[in-house]
Amino acid sequence: MWGFTDKFSWIPSTFNGQGDALIFDANYQPKPAHAALKEILEVGVDLTPKISAASRSGKQLIINGEKFLEGAQIFMNGEKQKKVFVDEENPSMMIVARKAGKFVKPGDLLQVKNPDGRVSNEFVYQNASN
Q: 109 and 59 in one domain?
A: yes
CA–CA separation, 3 vs 22, rounded Å? Answer: 7
Q: Quick check: is 68 in a domain?
A: yes
Q: How many domains does the chain have?
A: 2
120 lies in which domain range? 50-124
Assess if residue 129 is contained within a domain.
no
Residues 109 and 66 in one domain: yes
Angle at 119 between CA 105 and CA 83, to 5 degrees: 55
Q: Can you give the CATH number for the domain in which 118 is found?
A: 2.60.40.10
pLDDT per position in the chain (130 positions), as tens? 678 888 888 888 888 888 778 899 989 999 998 988 888 888 788 899 999 999 999 999 999 999 999 999 999 999 999 999 998 888 899 999 999 999 999 999 999 999 999 999 999 999 765 4
The CA angle 73-130-94, to the nearest 5 degrees, is: 30
DSSP E strands, 1-130? 50-57, 60-66, 73-76, 79-80, 84-86, 94-97, 109-113, 123-124
